[in-house]
């Protein structure tokens, strides 16, 4: 009999749950600027309820506009205000904390952001700072003249951030280091590690475009064979041959209905 071991923490985090309930309470139609969450299936479900998604402020045509959980720079908020009748800001409070830090920095501070330069959260923080560098590799850390501050994208791996911040401090001893990785991420990463050590294969469920889901797959993949899937339709029976214990975790943007569908499908193999 196959055993399915679910991670202690998985699926929707506080910020995503909060953003979705904000959208659900609004009279439709509403327009969301950017991905509300990084989960294509949940986005599609919302579309059917009258929620439109646009990528650029130029595409806004008035009405109610929701700003995504990933945060927006002050410039972007100003542009949205010119094209919306009402703005609902669904920025996660953990992301807002980074913007608060950036706002309080002295203008001559060089901000180092430990994160993915293409992620909307990182881009918004970078655009809010007067001078910001996005870096992920220790080898790329510069020695900076003047004040330096360091923040991390909320979904980065906390162990890697610790190593990175020590390296920044070696080159820039006066750097102000801020712990901006959110607990939801750390909890999911710790729980994924624990399950991966105890199973024959891990299934990591979530958007292929979700940074935190990709990170869970990377962490689990360093320990045991791991498959990153978005839905039950991707499961292949041959993956399960000779495997008795299957671990399951899911990114912070993954709704419980998808997790339940995957678990139900695994039980049938």
- Assign 3-state DSSP to the chain and report helix, strand, coil percentages, each to 5: 45, 20, 40
Residues 6+ apart with CB under 8 A from 67: 33, 34, 77, 80, 87, 88, 89, 90, 91
Under rule CB under 6 A, residue 189 binds ligand SF4: no
Catalytic one of 8, 121, 230, 234? 121
Under rule CB under 6 A, residue 135 binds ligand SF4: no
Under rule CB under 6 A, residue 20 binds ligand SF4: no
CB of 139 to ligand SF4, least distance (A): 27
Instruction: Give dist(CA 124, CA 55) in Å, integer.
Output: 14
Under rule CB under 6 A, residue 119 binds ligand SF4: no
Decide if 196 contacts 219 (C-beta within 8 A).
yes
Binding string, 74-113, against ligand SF4, x = CB under 6 A? ------------------x-xx------------------
CB of 34 to ligand SF4, least distance (A): 13
Residue nearest to ligand SF4 (CB): 15
Q: In the block, which residue shows the tokens 């100003």?
A: 78
Residues 6+ apart with CB under 8 A from 181: 152, 154, 155, 156, 158, 161
Instruction: Give dist(CA 24, CA 32) in Å, integer.
Output: 12
Closer Cβ to ligand SF4, 95 or 122, answer by number:
95
Under rule CB under 6 A, residue 185 binds ligand SF4: yes
CB of 212 to ligand SF4, least distance (A): 6
208-227 residues in contact with ligand SF4 (CB under 6 A) are 212
CB of 33 to ligand SF4, least distance (A): 16
Binding string, 31-60, against ligand SF4, x = CB under 6 A? ------------------------------
Buried b (16+ CB within 10 A) or exposed e, 150-178: bbbbbbbbeeebeebbeebeeebeebebb
Find the part of the chain contacting ligand SF4 (CB under 6 A) among 10-18, 25-33, 42-50, 257-265: 10-18
Decide if 249 contacts 227 (C-beta within 8 A).
no
Question: Whose CA is closest to 40, among 229, 245, 169, 179?
Answer: 229
96 is catalytic: no
Active site residue ranges: 121
Which positions touch ligand SF4 (CB under 6 A)?
13-16, 69, 92, 94-95, 154-155, 182, 184-185, 212, 252
């Amino acid at each position: 009999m196959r055993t399915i071991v679910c991670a202690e923490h998985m699926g929707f985090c506080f910020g995503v749950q909060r953003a979705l309930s904000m959208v659900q309470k609004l009279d439709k139609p509403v327009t969301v600027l950017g991905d509300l969450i990084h989960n294509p299936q949940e986005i599609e479900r919302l579309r059917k309820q009258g929620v439109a998604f646009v990528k650029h402020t130029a595409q806004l045509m008035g009405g109610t506009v929701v700003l995504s959980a990933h945060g927006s720079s002050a410039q972007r908020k100003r542009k949205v205000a010119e094209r919306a009748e009402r703005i609902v800001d669904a920025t996660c409070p953990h992301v807002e904390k980074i913007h608060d830090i950036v706002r309080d920095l002295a203008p001559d501070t060089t901000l180092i952001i430990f994160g993915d330069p293409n992620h909307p959260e990182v881009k918004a923080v970078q655009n809010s700072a007067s001078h910001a560098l996005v870096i992920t590799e220790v080898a790329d850390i510069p020695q900076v003249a003047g004040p330096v501050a360091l923040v991390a994208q909320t979904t980065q791996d906390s162990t890697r951030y610790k190593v990175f911040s020590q390296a920044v401090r070696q080159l820039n001893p006066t750097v102000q280091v801020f712990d901006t990785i959110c607990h939801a991420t750390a909890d999911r990463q710790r729980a994924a590690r624990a399950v991966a050590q105890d199973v024959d294969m891990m299934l990591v469920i979530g958007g292929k475009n979700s940074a935190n889901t990709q990170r869970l797959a990377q962490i689990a993949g360093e320990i045991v064979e791991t498959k990153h899937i978005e839905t039950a339709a991707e499961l292949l029976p041959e993956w399960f041959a000779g495997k008795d214990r299957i671990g399951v975790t899911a990114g912070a943007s993954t709704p419980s209905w998808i997790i339940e569908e995957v678990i139900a499908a695994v039980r049938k193999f």
